[in-house]
Structure 1
Amino acid sequence: MSRHVVIVGAGPAGLAAVEHALLAGARVTVLDQAESPGGQYHRRPLEGHPARRGGSEFDRRRRLLAHPRCRWLPGSTVWAFDRVENRLQVLRGQADGSGRQRLTLVPDALILATGAHDRTLPFPGWELPGVYTAGAAQALAKGERVAIGGRVLVAGAGPFLLPVAESLLDAGAEVVAVLEANPLATVRKGWSARPWRLAAHAGKAGELARYAAALARRRVPYRLGRAVIEARGADRVREVVTAKVRADWSIVPGTERTYAVDAVCVGHGFVPQPELAVAAGCVLDAGFVRVDGAQQTTVDGVFAAGEITGIGGAVTAAAEGAVAGCAAAGGKPASALIRARDRALTFAGRLATAHPIGPAWLGWLREDTIVCRCEETTYGEVTRAAGDAACPGSHALKLGTRAGLGPCQGRMCGPAVAELCGGTERHHRPIAQPIRLGELAARTEGEPE
């Protein structure tokens, strides 16, 4: 009998895993919280707004999920994983709706492709209405054709800022500038190292060049070595203060410049979503899930692919997903898949070197700067608690200040709070996603046929 592979996440990594698990003869169940597959990268526009690119990808996705050995379960949230009985607990339905259906799945192999979410560093005023993460801005512009504002500044770190700016322009916004916090020397060091290996990433380099050319045609300035250090406004953001920053992201005095805007889009890369991996008992390295050459985690039968193993973009995620899908189905990944995965991982290394997070960003903060928006915990409160001998360790510090313990459970402020608290550990929670008490008590249906 063929193996049953459950894949959590239908982004580039999850879809590649589906394809190669099916090729290896497995039965596949695919779950995603969204109603449509593709993840953030392959987000499908609204009906009536055809995609400018990626039509063939939509067709491929449809074919995969319609395969007779594939079960597609959209709108599904995996809220717990019982590592003893190898059971996934699933809720189907709108996250904020009632009457969600409870399901239990018992796979032969599990692939976690849960992806990542935006990393946004706090700065004075970042809690104002009109301040958006890069991912949220792109989701609205690309998926809904809605611009976050009429006059928008895009800032942060990493090449993701370029497609976000293009999506905003396509949605009708005026993008006043795109600011990359890392200076030219840092960016050049990452992308120009071992130039003879760049040929392997010609497609990705061409894509970035196309985005840059599109911004240039529309006369959108692209500035290196500048960052947003403050947002101002009473009821919402009305202006932002930017400054030139050094390689460590410390502010160069006297270089401040103010832009009048009605929205600002900030993104400083991505952080993984490893809650289910932690629940499964997988070992993490610097917050990412540790995997071997076949994408298997430290737990037998549990594989991981995509951004939860390292931030490398859609191509890297898909390459990892292909290896994971084949291995999880019981096959031996072909050497071509392994080589493609390894080449993609070198791109991830360049990305990390070219667009790091400078440690001196803490100098942007003031005593009253909110670092945890859910609990309204300020930078001053966190730093005072960190110096209190009665709060030893980051876990005790978080309990004392409530930083990172609000409704979002640290998804917005987690990395920043961890850095301020001097720790990066993640604690296992039996419930990985929010669930109502009534849903917890409801009857659980068996594994779908």
Structure 2
Amino acid sequence: MNVVIVGAGPAGLAAAEHALRAGAQVTVLDQAETPGGQYHRMLPEAYAARRPERVHHGRAEFDRRRRVLAHPRCRWWPASTVWAFDRVEKRLHILRGPSDGSGRRRLTLTPDALILATGAHDRTLPFPGWELPGVYTAGAAQALAKGERVAIGGRVLVAGAGPFLLPVAESLLGVGAEVVAVLEANPASTVRKGWSSRPWRLAAHAGKAGELVRYAATLARHRVPYRMGRAVIEARGVDRVREVVTAKIRADWSVVPGTERAYEVDAVCVGHGFSPQPELAVAAGCVLDDGFVRVDAAQQTTVDGVFAAGEITGIGGAVTAAAEGAVAGRAAAGETPDAALLRARDRARAFAERLAAAHPIGPAWRGWLREDTIVCRCEETTYGELTRAAADGSCPGPHALKLGTRAGLGPCQGRICGPAVSELCGGADRHHRPIAQPIRLGELAAPTEGEPE
């Protein structure tokens, strides 16, 4: 059995480990030069770090990469971009080489089974001034801190929703930044309600409590305030961000008038959860549910022989991704996943559901926006332009909306603005493209080398 896995984060590596245990030949591909995904982002080899694992979470998961990728039946393909999927021949079209480099090789793979573990990227809601230099996504700030040991600024505000804000703040403090505050948008009542439901089930996730205690101790040691029910509603500056305005918000994320407060900063990182990256799954013909890839009990998608695991099936964090990957790896290799793997996966999913309930995105966030607030940064499409186009009966549907406003047609192809445009305008289509990843015209015209031995 020849199993190809796209993505070398927690889900992909767990899938590889369990497919190997089931006797499969495994090929793991990732766009990055090193495995681990965002969760286990590595320092560059040039840094010659003596203990690189110190900037990572979960040593056992970190060690998995060495064990899996050194296996004699595993091929590791770094810097590999899957840009298309031939549904008829079940063939992957791949470019090997740095994404910003020239001379990438065109190759193909035709696996017996395919596991998609393509992960997710930051979701950030627009607000006035979010296009200013110095405004980062939470994931970008952490990637620079963990992967380059670089702080995005000297004085940084961390804001948004979800527990991911805590490791981001920890990473920034670890590289010398002053974190002026961590702001969770959801009020304490919302967070408490989400986490306190059926509390006896939390016993299976005791390790998470230890992580929370560590983050709290780190913030306390550095005297970083953690405030709930507050959000960044504006960034100000001319050449770059110089000040951010925060406000108290209600459970629906509407602003409480008169609660605005300004912070002087030279950088701000904002994250409101994550959006899945299902482009390759859509290219393969997989059905989506609310933007996530639909899978069955064995992690198989609606396409025979194509499995999915991790954030593209539902945002749940690294533990959930690895649990799903383990099930997908066994199933893709032709084995029935055992009861223990299924129970671990189901427990992890239950934790993910609790996480979503405790840190939702309130529907009233659009009240932060002004007429001239840029929503699509690539094409500089404003909130006013979007709302007028959505109300115009002469351009019905998401396709006409995109053509009329250019929203989602820039270099990022809607990966940043897509969820916001969809929510603001009632369901914009942002995934259905025959080419799943950017490719140069010269690369598209170049001959394919074929399938390697």
TM-score, structure 1 as length reference: 0.98
Shift of 1:55: 5.0
Aligned to 1:122: 126
- Going from structure 1 to structure 2, the CA distance change for 1:286 and 1:424 (only over 3 Å counts) comes to farther
Shift of 1:424: 4.9
Distance in 2 between residues matched to 1:178 and 1:426, nearest whole Å: 32
AA paired with 2:423?
A: E
Shift of 1:447: 1.9
Aligned to 1:164: 168
SS in 2 for 1:202: helix
Render the CA deviation track for 1:209-239: whole Å, top value 9, x for unaligned. 2112211121100000000000000000000
Cα pair 1:393 1:421 within 8 Å, conserved: no
AA paired with 2:24?
A: A
Distance in 2 between residues matched to 1:192 and 1:216, nearest whole Å: 24
Q: Does 1:341 align with 2:345?
A: yes
Distance in 2 between residues matched to 1:403 and 1:75, nearest whole Å: 29
Shift of 1:56: 4.7
AA paired with 1:161?
A: L
| 1:185-264 equivalences in 2 (<5 Å) | 185-264=189-268
Aligned to 2:142: 138
AA paired with 1:223?
A: R
SS in 1 for 2:93: strand
Aligned to 1:444: 448
Distance in 1 between residues matched to 2:63 and 2:111, nearest whole Å: 27
Distance in 1 between residues matched to 2:440 and 2:66, nearest whole Å: 33
SS in 1 for 2:389: helix
Render the CA deviation track for 1:152-206: whole Å, top value 9, x for unaligned. 0000000000000000000100000000000000000111110000001111222
Cα pair 1:286 1:424 within 8 Å, conserved: no
| 1:221-370 equivalences in 2 (<5 Å) | 221-370=225-374
Q: Does 1:404 align with 2:408?
A: yes
| 1:30-41 equivalences in 2 (<5 Å) | 30-41=28-39
Name whichever of 30-39 and 42-51 sits farther off: 42-51
AA paired with 2:5?
A: I
Name whichever of 394-403 and 138-147 sits farther off: 394-403
Distance in 2 between residues matched to 1:180 and 1:420, nearest whole Å: 22
Shift of 1:40: 0.4
Aligned to 1:48: 48
Shift of 1:426: 4.2
Cα pair 2:124 2:137 within 8 Å, conserved: yes
Distance in 2 between residues matched to 1:57 and 1:82, nearest whole Å: 33
Aligned to 1:28: 26
Give unmatched runs, 5+ long, in structure 1: none
Distance in 1 between residues matched to 2:286 and 2:207, nearest whole Å: 33
Distance in 2 between residues matched to 1:405 and 1:381, nearest whole Å: 15
SS in 2 for 1:326: helix
Cα pair 1:5 1:28 within 8 Å, conserved: yes
Cα pair 2:242 2:264 within 8 Å, conserved: yes
SS in 2 for 1:40: coil
Distance in 2 between residues matched to 1:204 and 1:324, nearest whole Å: 24
Distance in 1 between residues matched to 2:336 and 2:238, nearest whole Å: 59
SS in 1 for 2:396: coil
Aligned to 1:433: 437
What is the RMSD of the two structures over their aligned residues, measured on CA atoms? 1.0
Render the CA deviation track for 1:234-282: whole Å, top value 9, x for unaligned. 0000000000000000000000000000000000000000000000111
Cα pair 1:110 1:303 within 8 Å, conserved: yes
SS in 1 for 2:31: coil
Render the CA deviation track for 1:23-54: whole Å, top value 9, x for unaligned. 00000010000000000001122433433155
AA paired with 2:123?
A: R
Aligned to 1:11: 9
SS in 1 for 2:150: coil
Cα pair 2:13 2:64 within 8 Å, conserved: no
TM-score, structure 2 as length reference: 0.97
Give unmatched runs, 5+ long, in structure 2: none
Distance in 1 between residues matched to 2:162 and 2:61, nearest whole Å: 24
SS in 1 for 2:76: strand
| 1:54-133 equivalences in 2 (<5 Å) | 54-133=58-137
Identity %: 85
AA paired with 1:379?
A: Y
Distance in 1 between residues matched to 2:373 and 2:318, nearest whole Å: 34
SS in 2 for 1:94: coil
Cα pair 1:244 1:251 within 8 Å, conserved: yes
Q: Does 1:153 align with 2:157?
A: yes
